[in-house]
Amino acid sequence: QVQLVESGGGLLQAGGSVRLSCAASGLTFGQYFMGWFRQSPGKEREFVAAISLSGSNTYYADSVTGRFTISRDNAKNTMYLQMNSLKPEDTAVYFCAAPRVRLAIPRSPSMVGSWGQGTQVNVSS
């Protein structure tokens, strides 16, 4: 059974930084593309970033490009999302995601097979 556990959220100020972590178990982590999504109240869950098996290729939503960095440590079965230059519009619950098909880039919620429970990020102006 796949388990994804996020951590690292909190209350932050605009312009600040935070790093989210996603600890994975129940899957051969290094053989899966992985991704981050977020969801704000009243909005649909949206793609934030994704990363290839080795971490050599990364993919970002336009809204976070240049501010967020996704990375992974396969030896620790952990993925990260470094979030810099935070804006109030980044306020959301952030979810770790593993795709249904391990070599698929999880760019949409329909492609996700396993979700974490989410971690709240609140950015005040």
Q: How far apart are CA 108 and CA 44, in angstroms?
A: 11
Burial (0-12, 13-18, 19+ Cβ within 10 Å), 53: middle
**pLDDT computed for residue 11 by the predictor:** 97
- CB atoms closer than 10 angstroms to residue 87: 14
| Nearest in space to 22 (alpha carbons), one of 60, 51, 59, 56 | 51
Are 68 and 51 a contacting pair, CB within 8 Å?
Answer: no
Residue-wise pLDDT tens digits, 64-100? 999 999 999 999 999 999 999 999 999 999 999 999 9
Say which residues have a Cβ less than 8 Å from residue 42's Cβ, sequence separation at least 6.
none
Report the amino acid identity of residue 12: L
Residue-wise pLDDT tens digits, 16-73? 999 999 999 999 999 999 999 999 999 999 999 999 999 999 999 999 999 999 999 9
